[in-house]
Structure 1
Amino acid sequence: MSSARNTAARGRANSRSAAVPAYKALYEQLRSGILTGQLAAGTRLPPSRTLATETGLSRNTVLAAFEQLQAEGYIIGRQGSGTYVADLLPEQLLATSEPPNRLAAASPPSAVTTAKLSARGERLALARRVPLPSVLGREPRGTSFLIGLPALDAFPFETWGKLYCERLRKSGPRLMRYDDPAGYRPLREAIAGYISTARGIHCLADQVIVTSGSQQALEFCARILLDPGDAAWIEDPGYLGARAALVSASARIIPVPVDENGLDVTAGQALEPNARLAAVTPSHQFPLGHTMSLERRLALIDWAGRNDSWIVEDDYDAEFRYLGRPHAALMAIDSHQRVIYVGTFSKVLFPSLRLGYVIAPPDLVDGFLAAHLSTDMHAHVIDQAVVADFIEQGHFARHLRRMRVLHRERQQQLVRLAEPLSENLRLAPSDGGLHLVGWLADHRDDRAVAKATLRQGVHVWPLSTHYLRSEAKPAILLGYAGTTAEDMRRGIATLSAVLS
């Protein structure tokens, strides 16, 4: 227990020196002690009152730190006994091991070519990139439960327009020239500051590379980290964009099952232990919405460190968590520097902005810059400057707070409206995200349901599209964040008619 007190004391000192919230400094110090083994599994922590007295912190501060640690699975409370470091942390996952040499790449897969496309081009053409068939280029009639769409009707258009005009007036000609392939420097600095506070990732602006959306970031990861035929883990079911990026790089895709704890690392090692890369969405798994458990996170990081492999962390929907504080990012707890972090402004601002970013370990930065120079050189600089202003002037933080409240209300409304359909459609509420999974009866064909509703102007997306090998239960995805109350009612009425 004395080690816990010493760790807490350092947290108090760090809080005063770094001007960070006291609870967060204490949380970081205790988490670090757990991950390094200083606070071993089963260690009993001092009572919150005792720790508060001995460190000079308020009891609420200590309780807030404990609450965050318990929410992420680092500690557990035992009724009538106290608070302990969780037993689920095996010692081998807490120790840094020397990674062996990477094994030779596997032979590239065979494929049937066509007269028009290369073998890789044919595979890419068959890899569906995004779930937007039949709606691109036209507005659906009535409602559309489009996934991945925030509440655009509540976007601060006036503020954005003023910032855009002001930026053009002040520095238009300068921003119309070629720029750094890493991105507009003030935006990279703003991202580094935001990601440190929001996701626990401490990085330099030099590690941030601004991309044209998260899809380009995934493409860059696949391009600079994989040779043709290299094995890559992908979640099953998983994000179609990640699948397309790996196909584009001629990777050998290894579908790994997903359950309520996220990607099954043990199953991945059984399928292909020497995979070169794993593409994951740990904060809010797409499409099922689960959060990867701490045990799985540590196991994945340990696997990557031992095998000289890479983890591409697509932090999908991490900003939109409605219960409790967000879990720390994989990159924040990675002691091996094997994680590449991918973020985007498409879901938090608007999709057509097409701005994303990569946070790379220092040794990979030059590779990402080379990839950028070989494609579009850099993302749109004026838009980068406006986003930087939006963040620096505090609009971004306020917008996120408003969106969290509005999106949560819309999720609750969708669940209420769908209650009469419970015999045919079972909605599973989620702690975060922008869509819900609606489970259908086992005899239903989710693709047929999606086609039938689309003919009525309502867009839902079949879950089965996201599976490669795992057994798929029929379900549809319903995006609620970008759907107004009136359109939501119309959409549910249409779904009721189709399903009955």
Structure 2
Amino acid sequence: MAKTAPEISMPFIQLNKQSRKALYVQLYEEIRTAVLNGILKPGDRMPATRMLSKELSIARNSVILAYEQLILEGYLGGKTGAGTYVAGIPDQPEFLQNHKSVLETQTGGFLSGNSLAGKSNLLFRDCDFESIRTFQISVPSFADFPFKTWAKIAAAIYKDIGALHLGYDHGQGYEPLRAAIAAHLRINRSINCTAEQVVVVNGSRQAIHLIAELFLKQGDQCWMEDPGYTGAKSAMQRFGAEVCPVPIGENGLDIDYAIEQFPNAKLAYITPSHQYPMGITMPLQERLKLLAYARRQNMIIIEDDYDSEFRYNGRPLAALKGIDTHGNVLYVGTFSKILFPALRIGYMVLPSAALAQEFTYAKALTDRQNPVIDQAILNEFIRSGHFQRHLRKMRTLYKKAQDDLSGILLKELGKNVKVYPAEAGMHFVLQFKQQHAADLIKQDAGQSGLILTPLDKLSVKFHHHSGFLMGFTGYSLEEMEKGVQLIKKITRL
């Protein structure tokens, strides 16, 4: 009588129970990959469903569903009375074999040599699924977004979808949305522009990359706030520019330092209304000084106005673009943080319609246009007044959330920390007075379920070793209380 093959151990299987992807799908993918890579060989006997579910601490039904799909696709086979086995794959496609592709052998890999990784360690590579954890920055309050209203608008758009142009639309963006953006900016940001000057993009990052692509050449110097937005530094580096770190003072970007150290800079990237990440607002005199210098030097200014709508004391300040009389400022805005990140709609305001057309050409080379239907829904959301109502509501809720979190931190950690409440935006800075506490938070690196972004991660030269960003906009009072208790536990304060 033939011996039954022993069940194979599968320690290589890694399941992420925090992921939105179903566990049976993850298990199916792990086993399928192991078969294709040769880790599991034809004839290997698979563990019984009951045993594997116990080993992985998941429901047996998840294992059964994964096995059934693998059997259906021919990766596994069942033998009556003998269990489940790995099936043979006699003609494995060449592209699945374990060797480098033709492109890799010629270039040394996508991120090497003359491509992205060889240029700088500043490159921003966040392209994975991003789970939301307590104190993560720039997370809107999804629970307070009017999704029912959004859904009604979407249903109405789809019901009368024939009214839209369903062919290729203008790469500059859906014209009614561009007009709505221009009207919003005139009223709320003191920017006097027309729809012809607005270009709709896939978030602010695409806008910054387009600016770098069109205006920068190898070796051009760029003033960059330090600490500052890593995505902007990445864009400049990608197109060969030299990142020139400028410290942040009590008035925001230290303009005098920048002029003295980097007088030949061609471009400046700034966040004047709510400096990212320190939260400082650049006063009017400094704004005028910067504009005057830009005029004399013919310097380009990128104004990234990423979350200035959420101002908690008085009306939002006028944008730098609103007082630019010579066309030096390229204005960038986004709906990702105001509404929800998955929307991926941002916009640029250019000094002239002609320049906006040049940016449209550059954008259309890679993605042709933003989805028209999404733009139509957003346009109606703005046009019918829901956008302004949502902004007013969120300002009140976010101010309370910041006050709540500040109070909890001071109550629980008091003398061990310093809290810097923000006048605007969706995060504030928390500084630990003891460096070892900050080091313990960095060592945790999200393992506890919290995300506290170290300021060091956003710095090139001017570091703040004990400072962290605290997001407060997307979390309940209970979640923030539990989060602070975890901080106490991690830091042993």
469, 475, 480: which is aligned to 1:488?
Answer: 480
Q: Could you tell me which residue of structure 2 aligns to residue 463 of structure 1?
A: 455
The answer (yes or no) to whether the contact 1:175–1:382 under 8 Å persists in 2 is: no
396, 399, 404: which is aligned to 2:390?
Answer: 399
The answer (yes or no) to whether the contact 2:291–2:324 under 8 Å persists in 1 is: yes
Identify if the C-alpha distance between structure 1 residues 254 and 357 changes in structure 2 by more than 3 Å, giving closer, same or farther.
same
Q: Could you tell me which residue of structure 1 aligns to residue 113 of structure 2?
A: 118
Deviations 1:329-349 (A, max 9, x none): 111111211000000001110
> Displacement of 1:160 after TM fit?
0.4
Gaps in structure 1 of 5+ consecutive residues:
1-113
SS of 1:137's equivalent in the other structure is coil
2:174 is the alignment partner of 1:184: yes
Identify if the C-alpha distance between structure 1 residues 293 and 123 changes in structure 2 by more than 3 Å, giving closer, same or farther.
farther
2:195 is the alignment partner of 1:214: no
SS of 1:210's equivalent in the other structure is strand
The answer (yes or no) to whether the contact 2:308–2:316 under 8 Å persists in 1 is: yes
Identify if the C-alpha distance between structure 1 residues 310 and 492 changes in structure 2 by more than 3 Å, giving closer, same or farther.
same
The answer (yes or no) to whether the contact 2:274–2:281 under 8 Å persists in 1 is: yes
Q: Could you tell me which residue of structure 2 aligns to residue 436 of structure 1?
A: 428
Identify if the C-alpha distance between structure 1 residues 401 and 123 changes in structure 2 by more than 3 Å, giving closer, same or farther.
farther
Give distance in 2, aligned partners of 1:192 and 1:137.
Answer: 33
2:253 is the alignment partner of 1:263: yes
Structure having the higher Rg: 2
> Displacement of 1:216 after TM fit?
0.4
Give distance in 2, aligned partners of 1:278 and 1:161.
Answer: 40
SS of 1:126's equivalent in the other structure is coil
SS of 1:454's equivalent in the other structure is coil
2:471 is the alignment partner of 1:476: no
SS of 1:423's equivalent in the other structure is helix
Give distance in 1, aligned partners of 2:438 and 2:241.
Answer: 29
> Displacement of 1:139 after TM fit?
4.0
The answer (yes or no) to whether the contact 2:137–2:472 under 8 Å persists in 1 is: yes
Identify if the C-alpha distance between structure 1 residues 286 and 390 changes in structure 2 by more than 3 Å, giving closer, same or farther.
same
Give distance in 2, aligned partners of 1:161 and 1:427.
Answer: 39
> Displacement of 1:195 after TM fit?
0.2
Q: How many residues align?
A: 383
Q: Could you tell me which residue of structure 2 aligns to residue 10 of structure 1?
A: none
SS of 1:183's equivalent in the other structure is coil
Q: Could you tell me which residue of structure 2 aligns to residue 137 of structure 1?
A: 129
> Displacement of 1:428 after TM fit?
1.1
> Displacement of 1:125 after TM fit?
7.3
What residue identity is the alignment partner of 2:420? A
Q: Could you tell me which residue of structure 1 aligns to residue 344 of structure 2?
A: 354
Q: Could you tell me which residue of structure 2 aligns to residue 379 of structure 1?
A: 370
After TM superposition, the score normalised by the length of structure 2 is 0.74
2:230 is the alignment partner of 1:237: no
The answer (yes or no) to whether the contact 2:438–2:467 under 8 Å persists in 1 is: yes
What residue identity is the alignment partner of 2:349? I
Q: Could you tell me which residue of structure 1 aligns to residue 70 of structure 2?
A: none
What residue identity is the alignment partner of 1:466? L
2:258 is the alignment partner of 1:274: no
Q: Could you tell me which residue of structure 1 aligns to residue 68 of structure 2?
A: none
2:408 is the alignment partner of 1:413: no
SS of 2:234's equivalent in the other structure is helix
What residue identity is the alignment partner of 1:121? L
**TM alignment of 1:276-315, pairs within 5 A:** 276-315=266-305
The answer (yes or no) to whether the contact 1:123–1:247 under 8 Å persists in 2 is: no
Identify if the C-alpha distance between structure 1 residues 489 and 124 changes in structure 2 by more than 3 Å, giving closer, same or farther.
farther
**TM alignment of 1:361-372, pairs within 5 A:** 361-362=351-352, 363-372=354-363
The answer (yes or no) to whether the contact 1:236–1:470 under 8 Å persists in 2 is: yes
Identify if the C-alpha distance between structure 1 residues 173 and 484 changes in structure 2 by more than 3 Å, giving closer, same or farther.
same
Give distance in 1, aligned partners of 2:360 and 2:218.
Answer: 21
The answer (yes or no) to whether the contact 1:447–1:464 under 8 Å persists in 2 is: no
After TM superposition, the score normalised by the length of structure 1 is 0.73
Give distance in 2, aligned partners of 1:408 and 1:250.
Answer: 41
Give distance in 1, aligned partners of 2:182 and 2:119.
Answer: 33
Range that drifts further, 183-192 or 412-421: 412-421
> Displacement of 1:476 after TM fit?
1.1
Q: What is the CA RMSD across the aligned residues, in angstroms?
A: 2.0
Deviations 1:75-118 (A, max 9, x none): xxxxxxxxxxxxxxxxxxxxxxxxxxxxxxxxxxxxxxx83323
Identify if the C-alpha distance between structure 1 residues 223 and 453 changes in structure 2 by more than 3 Å, giving closer, same or farther.
closer
> Displacement of 1:489 after TM fit?
1.1
Give distance in 1, aligned partners of 2:228 and 2:162.
Answer: 41
Identify if the C-alpha distance between structure 1 residues 320 and 447 changes in structure 2 by more than 3 Å, giving closer, same or farther.
farther
Give distance in 2, aligned partners of 1:223 and 1:446.
Answer: 38
Range that drifts further, 404-413 or 422-431: 422-431
> Displacement of 1:178 after TM fit?
1.1
Give distance in 1, aligned partners of 2:437 and 2:478.
Answer: 27
SS of 1:444's equivalent in the other structure is helix
Q: Could you tell me which residue of structure 2 aligns to residue 127 of structure 1?
A: 122
SS of 2:469's equivalent in the other structure is strand
SS of 2:315's equivalent in the other structure is coil
Give distance in 2, aligned partners of 1:360 and 1:310.
Answer: 11
Identify if the C-alpha distance between structure 1 residues 447 and 180 changes in structure 2 by more than 3 Å, giving closer, same or farther.
farther
Give distance in 2, aligned partners of 1:151 and 1:295.
Answer: 35
Q: Could you tell me which residue of structure 1 aligns to residue 417 of structure 2?
A: 425
Give distance in 2, aligned partners of 1:447 and 1:149.
Answer: 25
Give distance in 2, aligned partners of 1:442 and 1:336.
Answer: 48
The answer (yes or no) to whether the contact 2:123–2:238 under 8 Å persists in 1 is: no
> Displacement of 1:168 after TM fit?
1.4
> Displacement of 1:174 after TM fit?
3.6
> Displacement of 1:186 after TM fit?
0.3
